[in-house]
């Protein structure tokens, strides 16, 4: 039986998951929801299902088996909590929340109602990265050096406000922090520094384009450049550098230094040199969709969703610890101070 899916938040990334669902015989799109009803309607017209403005109307009218939540970081909490109460399984895009209070509330609900969850950290399911992790599992990791460089600011209002999007560290670099945990295990403490280097003030007479990346933006209030130092539980050290200062290229990835091996991760691709030889592999063209298809398989009882909500909470905590360190003038912040009890 196809899994009956409801989509909540039908902006940018939702289109990717909607297209995946439309092309799969294991998924049926029964409803779309967006606070901008026209967007929900547009998605319904293109991909299927009925359009709603309120998520609880979607839940009540369509009784979906599962939802795919693609709302901005600030717009989480009730959407997932109400779904969990109704026994609706939850796929949620990263980051899972804007704050630890919000994430902890949803975590309680998904545990209490025992629904299947999956967070959209899709890099974890790229084959070359999985192989790199297997190779690293037999070695002591010394250094996890991650970066996320974006050549400008996504032209969305919530991106410019810390309390709505969480800035690049929460919103985007979370991919790298999560992948660092996937490769090297949990993080014990974080030191953070932030800066704003670029002048984001629009010139007089500036006409804002629709969408895309921009190099000036009214109301820009987030750091544009961030650096973290991470101490892993294993004793490995890590760094994260991220910046959205306008330049010419998009670049995200890692170097991992381990005993006897040096790994490079470039987007979803991986390569390494080790004493056993060299390896290089590009991700297959459909690698991105695996994070949703694996979740749907799990809802159908055909396997496990390997990136449950707890993982999203732990990865979010690293970003929040980074900001907390900034607030404390660069002092190290223990993850245990940030995480809910028991994680």
Ligand X SMILES: NC(=O)c1ccc[n+]([C@@H]2O[C@H](COP(=O)([O-])OP(=O)(O)OC[C@H]3O[C@@H](n4cnc5c(N)ncnc54)[C@H](O)[C@@H]3O)[C@@H](O)[C@H]2O)c1
Give yes or no for residue 240 binding ligand X (CB under 6 A). Answer: no
Segment contacting ligand X by CB under 6 A, of 27-35, 228-236, 272-280, 322-330: 27-35
Considering only 13, 130, 216, 229, the residue that binds ligand X (CB under 6 A) is: 13
CB-neighbour burial class of residue 234 (10 A; exposed 0-12, middle 13-18, buried 19+): middle
In the complex, minimum distance from the CB of residue 336 to ligand X, in angstroms, rounded to a whole number: 26
* Residue list 271-300, contact with ligand X (CB under 6 A): none
As a whole number of angstroms, the distance between CA 52 and CA 37 comes to 7
Residue 113: Cβ within 10 Å count: 16
Considering only 22, 24, 35, 186, the residue that binds ligand X (CB under 6 A) is: 35
Give yes or no for residue 72 binding ligand X (CB under 6 A). Answer: yes
For residues 307 and 291, the answer to whether their CB atoms sit within 8 Å is yes
Judged by CB under 6 A, the number of residues near ligand X is 24
* Residue list 147-206, contact with ligand X (CB under 6 A): 156, 171
Paired tokens of 296:
């749907």
In the complex, minimum distance from the CB of residue 312 to ligand X, in angstroms, rounded to a whole number: 11
Give yes or no for residue 34 binding ligand X (CB under 6 A). Answer: yes
Segment contacting ligand X by CB under 6 A, of 29-37, 182-190, 197-205, 277-285: 29-37
Segment contacting ligand X by CB under 6 A, of 67-75, 179-187, 248-256, 273-281: 67-75
Give yes or no for residue 62 binding ligand X (CB under 6 A). Answer: no
For residues 95 and 32, the answer to whether their CB atoms sit within 8 Å is no
Closer CB to ligand X, 125 or 194, in the complex: 125
Closer CB to ligand X, 122 or 176, in the complex: 122
Give yes or no for residue 267 binding ligand X (CB under 6 A). Answer: no
Give yes or no for residue 37 binding ligand X (CB under 6 A). Answer: no
Q: What is the DSSP letter of 2?
A: -
Closest C-alpha among 2, 6, 103, 118 to residue 52: 6
Report H helices in the chain: 14-22, 37-47, 55-62, 78-85, 100-112, 127-136, 162-165, 167-171, 174-184, 290-299, 309-327, 335-338
In the complex, minimum distance from the CB of residue 55 to ligand X, in angstroms, rounded to a whole number: 6
As a whole number of angstroms, the distance between CA 196 and CA 206 comes to 21
Give the SS3 label for residue 180.
helix
The residue written with tokens 């999560």 in the block is 178
Considering only 12, 235, 303, 330, the residue that binds ligand X (CB under 6 A) is: 12
For residues 334 and 301, the answer to whether their CB atoms sit within 8 Å is no
The residue with its CB nearest to ligand X is: 11
Residue 46: Cβ within 10 Å count: 14
Segment contacting ligand X by CB under 6 A, of 65-73, 106-114, 255-263, 294-302: 65-73
Question: Binding residues for ligand X, per CB under 6 A?
Answer: 8-14, 33-36, 39, 55, 70-73, 75, 93-94, 120, 122, 156, 171
């Amino acid at each position: 039986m196809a899994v009956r899916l409801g989509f909540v938040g039908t902006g940018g990334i939702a289109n990717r998951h909607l297209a995946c669902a439309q092309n799969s015989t294991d998924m049926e799109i029964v409803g779309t929801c967006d606070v901008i009803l026209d967007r929900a309607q547009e998605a319904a017209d293109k991909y299927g299902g009925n359009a709603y403005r309120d998520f609880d109307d979607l839940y009540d009218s369509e009784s979906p088996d599962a939802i795919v939540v693609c709302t901005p970081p600030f717009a989480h909490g009730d959407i997932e909590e109400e779904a969990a109460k109704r026994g609706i399984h939850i796929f949620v895009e990263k980051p899972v929340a804007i704050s630890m209070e919000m994430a902890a509330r949803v975590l309680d609900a998904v545990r209490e109602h025992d629904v299947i969850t999956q967070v959209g950290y899709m890099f974890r399911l790229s084959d070359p990265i999985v192989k790199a992790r297997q190779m690293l599992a037999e070695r002591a990791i010394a250094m996890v050096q991650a970066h996320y460089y974006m050549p400008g600011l996504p032209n969305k209002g919530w991106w410019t406000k810390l309390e709505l999007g969480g800035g690049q560290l929460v919103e985007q670099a979370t991919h790298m922090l999560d992948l660092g945990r996937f490769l090297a295990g949990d993080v014990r403490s974080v030191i953070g520094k932030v800066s704003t280097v670029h002048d984001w003030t629009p010139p007089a007479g500036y006409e804002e384009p629709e969408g895309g990346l921009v190099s000036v933006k009214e109301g820009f209030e987030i750091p544009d450049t961030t650096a973290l130092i991470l101490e892993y539980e294993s004793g490995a050290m890590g760094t994260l550098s991220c910046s959205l200062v306008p330049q010419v290229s998009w670049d995200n990835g890692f170097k991992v230094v381990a005993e006897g091996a040096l790994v490079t991760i470039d987007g979803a691709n991986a390569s390494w040199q080790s004493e056993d030889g060299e390896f290089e592999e590009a991700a297959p063209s459909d690698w991105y969709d695996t994070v949703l298809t694996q979740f749907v398989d799990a809802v159908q009882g055909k396997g496990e969703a390997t990136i449950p909500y707890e993982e999203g909470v732990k990865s979010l905590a690293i970003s929040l610890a980074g900001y907390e360190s900034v607030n404390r003038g660069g002092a190290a912040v223990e993850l245990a101070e940030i995480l809910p009890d028991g994680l």
